[in-house]
Chain A
Amino acid sequence: MPSFESYGDGIPGVSLEDLTGWLIVIEGTDGVGRTTTITRVRSHLERLGYAVAETGLSRSDLASRGIRRAKEGNTLGSKAFNLFYATDFADRLERQIVPALRAGFVMLTDRYIYSLIARAIVRGAEPDWIKRVYSFALKPDAVFYLRIGVQDLVPRVLLNGGFDYWESGMDLPMGEDLYESFIQYQSRVIEELDQLAREYEYETVDATRPADVLSDYLSRRIAALLEAGGGPAEERGSDGEA
């Protein structure tokens, strides 16, 4: 039995057997505190002896540069943007995530297909179409969706340098100024993530809690999950001792 399966037909030419690692996804909208949480969870897991790797949106070798350029000029149609992100995701899946899982790493992933699907839908993509596009993705071992209401999100974003053009959906006809647009856009994204949580059955975590409480909770949850799966690789490898 393969340790991983995909939502659809899998990745062309890539065997999903012998993937012994864990794929853990932290989802949530912009500014919800994913980066802080991941940093803390990572050091906790490393203290426990796990080999941990990280990846996040638009960090691919192949497409990150092109996406950045396209954003600077706002020069791509919305479908092309969605597919560019899908290209970036596919490249990271094949060249970062799968190799890390093959090597037995715990892959902490800062957002996954759910955010990409949510953002695409808010930008007008047909839901069934974009879900089918991403159906090559692997089903993670666990997805934790850091949820926050948009009113709780605003002060955090202000503390972290203010509203970003894209995170405010300024490319969309939504409200007159950055603030209005941010509220509308983020509300829509959160709505979609809520909806996807039901469909893809991932766990919603209250992200209004203080950062240390939140990361302690997630560290414990993820450590328990990994423990149940056999613990760090060297213990899983040595017969009878674990």
Chain B
Amino acid sequence: MNPPDFGSQPPGYPGRLFIVEGIDGSGKSTQLTLLAQWLRSEGYPVLFSEWNSSPIVKATTSRGKRRRLLSPLTFSLIHATDFSDRVEREIIPSLKAGAIVLADRYVYTAFARDVVRGVPPQWIRSLYGFAVVPTQAFYFRVPLDVALRRILSARPKLKHHEAGMDLNLHPDVRESYRIFQSRILEQYEQMVGEFGLAVMDATRPVEAQQRQLRRVIRPLLPKPRGRVDHALV
């Protein structure tokens, strides 16, 4: 049994798929928002795709989280369920229609998070074998301390799973979060070479990062077909 792992199939759609990845506090979402504004101003139809968007699966995920029903395996599978629905019904149709699809987190988030939870790396890579390979994925590399300062200085209320509390790393939520994030960071670093992630220095000024992002993306874009801002939202 040797099914294709994620990454082995070429995309082959007229649209483009760009991904930003990185730990919380890496500033990737800000960069993606700026990128979307630029692409729209250039006349491209842009679609934003987010985690946890399918309403029915979302109800199950929330229930599982709220009642602490989720194990590493079911956590992994329920997120893959949601993700597959998004791929089948949102991302692929948009790519077929020629849209520029921007996703804040993609399969790499699942690979990092689930492997830290003890899910076998090869299994998770074949589980996501159906996912479209991005035109380019960007990894926002940031030192752990910097990211933690950005996140924790806002005194957030960290959720149980978000802090990795299900892993019994530390009884204190913030401490657990630190350890969990550091392990996720290790996973990202390993994936840079494996998946050819473009590394962004996320400690640089916002504008400098955005210029770099646009420089990489520009040659990968299709020729604009005119102003079609309203074709897709």
Contacts and interface: CB of A to CB of B under 8 A. Distances in A.
Interface of A: 8-9, 11-14, 61-63, 65-66, 69-70, 73, 75-80, 83-84, 86-87, 90-91, 94-95, 126, 128-129, 131-133, 135-136
23 contacts: A12-B73, A13-B72, A61-B69, A62-B64, A66-B59, A69-B59, A75-B56, A76-B56, A76-B57, A77-B88, A79-B87, A80-B81, A80-B85, A83-B77, A83-B80, A86-B81, A91-B71, A128-B1, A129-B126, A129-B130, A133-B126, A133-B127, A136-B73
B73 A11 contact: yes
Name the residue in B60, B69, B84, B85 with the highest tally of chain A Cβ atoms < 10 Å from its Cβ. B60
Contacts of B127: 132-133
A77 B83 CA distance: 11
B171 interface: no
A12 B84 CA distance: 22
Given A61-B69, A94-B71, A86 B77 contact: yes
Contacts of A132: 1, 3, 123, 126-127
B216 to A, nearest CB: 31
A95 B78 CA distance: 16
Nearest to B71: A94
B89 A63 contact: no
Contact of B123 (A9, A63, A76, A91): A9
A14 B117 CA distance: 12
Contact of B119 (A12, A70, A95, A133): A12
Contacts of B87: 79
Interface in B56-72: 56-57, 59-60, 63-64, 69-72
Chain A binding surface, main DSSP class: helix
Interface in B70-98: 70-74, 77-78, 80-82, 84-85, 87-89
A60 to B, nearest CB: 9
A90 B84 contact: no
A131 B1 contact: yes
Nearest to A125: B130
Given A126-B3, A129-B130, A65 B60 contact: yes
Contact of B3 (A12, A73, A87, A128): A128
Interface in B119-155: 119-120, 122-123, 126-127, 129-130
Contacts of A126: 3, 129
